[in-house]
Chain A
Amino acid sequence: KNEVEQSPQNLTAQEGEFITINCSYSVGISALHWLQQHPGGGIVSLFMLSSGKKKHGRLIATINIQEKHSSLHITASHPRDSAVYICAVSPNDMRFGAGTRLTVKP
């Protein structure tokens, strides 16, 4: 079993829909990161969480340390949100989820 599990693996949505991507982990962590990787490979850091909730624009990330679970939400999704979203946790080193491929159709 992977230490970091993401669901779903693939997600297709219509423009404007509310999106949720989930991440569960089995190791003790000091922080959890949400990353966005666009076609062509560039990776952008969206959030770092150690507790609670963070919001940036249409993106919201939450973490429940007791349940070892985090969610990334996208409100009013747009085709430019189409990307692979990766959850990563850091105990001492970084462990990555397999990613969720999001496609938002106009």
Chain B
Amino acid sequence: SAVISQKPSRDICQRGTSLTIQCQVDSQVTMMFWYRQQPGQSLTLIATANQGSEATYESGFVIDKFPISRPNLTFSTLTVSNMSPEDSSIYLCSVGLAEKLFFGSGTQLSVL
């Protein structure tokens, strides 16, 4: 089992600013995943973060917009940069452990 602490749970931000979301896992994991869930839709993978290497981004997502840090095996951050209203969404982190997926509680982001 894994417990993921994700912060903040929600935020309201101004256009053009940046927000950093943190995920702390109570187990050491090789890969952490970052997802976006837009209103009424399912999850979309943003990137996969491995400790000690650059994150791997999915099509449509770039490092300049969504920089990711993975300083150790239990922690990762995702920054949403230069935000616009289109970035309003739920952002979630996830890990796989013992044949199960575990998710953070999500960050509800609203951009004005």
Determine whether the beta carbon of B105 is less than 8 Å from that of A33.
Answer: no
Interchain CB contact (< 8 A) of A45 among B37, B42, B44, B102: B102
Instruction: Write out, one digit per residue, whether chain A residues 81-99 have a CB within 8 A of any chain B CB (1) or not (0).
Output: 0000010100001101111
Whether, in the assembled complex, B43 has its beta carbon less than 8 Å from a beta carbon of chain A, the answer is yes
Residue among B94, B99, B108 with the highest chain A CB neighbour number at 10 A: B99
Within 8 A of A (CB), among B67-94: 90, 92, 94
Whether, in the assembled complex, A104 has its beta carbon less than 8 Å from a beta carbon of chain B, the answer is no
Instruction: Write out, one digit per residue, whether chain A residues 27-60 have a CB within 8 A of any chain B CB (1) or not (0).
Output: 0000101010000011111001000000000000
Determine whether the beta carbon of A98 is less than 8 Å from that of B42.
Answer: yes
Specify which chain B residues have a CB less than 8 angstroms from the CB of A44 in the assembled complex: 103
Q: In the complex, A94→B101 CA distance in Å?
A: 11
- Number of inter-chain CB pairs below 8 Å: 42
Determine whether the beta carbon of B43 is less than 8 Å from that of A96.
Answer: yes
Interchain CB contact (< 8 A) of B103 among A31, A42, A93: A42
Determine whether the beta carbon of B101 is less than 8 Å from that of A45.
Answer: yes
Cβ-closest 8 pairs across A and B: A43-B103, A41-B106, A45-B100, A45-B101, A48-B99, A96-B42, A96-B43, A98-B42
14 extra A-B contacts, CB within 8 A, seeds A41-B37, A88-B101, A98-B42: A31-B99, A35-B101, A42-B103, A42-B106, A43-B92, A43-B106, A45-B100, A48-B99, A48-B101, A93-B48, A94-B43, A96-B42, A98-B41, A99-B42
Write the residues of chain A forming the contact surface with B, with a CB cutoff of 8 angstroms: 31, 33, 35, 41-45, 48, 86, 88, 93-94, 96-99
Write the residues of chain B forming the contact surface with A, with a CB cutoff of 8 angstroms: 33, 37, 41-45, 48, 58, 90, 92, 94, 99-103, 105-106, 108
